[in-house]
């Protein structure tokens, strides 16, 4: 065994990017800063950032004792997990095809700095 669970073949991602995947990647890259999506580690941190409010609402249920807030927290947490589940395969396929992360042109040196 010894293989990574996030390896593209282990996740069934050996298929190339489809036109729908290209559109999804374009939408994601337009809406999310490159700094948040450039690497798998940063995307995991994005998941933690998106899931934390929901987790805290559920964990704080004994303090607020409101069923509506607990349900809202559970919904936010699940939405963060669904977002990761839907977007991560697109990023992995794009990385496998050398389409992600995009090449950022280097800035010319500032002679006055």
Query: What is the tens place of the pLDDT at every residue in 79-100?
Result: 999 999 999 999 999 888 888 8
- For the segment 18-35, the average pLDDT, to the nearest whole number, is 88
Q: Is 89 inside any structural domain? A: yes
Q: Is 9 inside any structural domain? A: no
Q: Is 62 inside any structural domain? A: yes
Q: Is 53 inside any structural domain? A: yes
Q: Is 107 inside any structural domain? A: no
- Number of domains present in the structure of the chain: 1
Q: Is 64 inside any structural domain? A: yes
Q: Report the candidate in 106, 50, 41 with the shortest Cα–Cα distance to residue 79.
A: 50
Give the percent of the chain with pLDDT over 90.
Answer: 48
DSSP sequence for 24-89: HHHHHHHHS-HHHHSSHHHHHHHHHHHHHHHHHHHHTHHHH--HHHHHHHHHHHHHHHHHHHHHHH
Range of the domain at 42: 19-96
The rounded distance, in Å, linking the Cα atoms of 19 and 93 is 12
Q: Is 13 inside any structural domain? A: no
Q: Is 45 inside any structural domain? A: yes
The rounded distance, in Å, linking the Cα atoms of 87 and 61 is 30
How do residues 11-22 score in pLDDT, each as one tens digit? 555 677 888 888
């Amino acid at each position: 065994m010894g293989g990574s669970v996030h390896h593209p073949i282990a996740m069934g991602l050996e298929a190339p990017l489809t036109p729908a995947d290209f559109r999804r990647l374009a939408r994601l890259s337009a809406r999310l800063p490159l700094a948040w999506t450039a690497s798998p580690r940063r995307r995991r941190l994005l998941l933690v950032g998106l899931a934390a409010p929901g987790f805290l609402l559920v964990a704080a249920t004994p303090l607020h004792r409101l069923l509506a807030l607990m349900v809202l927290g559970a919904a936010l947490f699940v939405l963060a997990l669904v977002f990761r589940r839907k977007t991560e395969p697109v990023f992995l396929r794009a990385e496998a095809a050398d389409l992600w992360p995009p090449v950022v042109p280097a800035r010319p040196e500032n002679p006055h700095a």
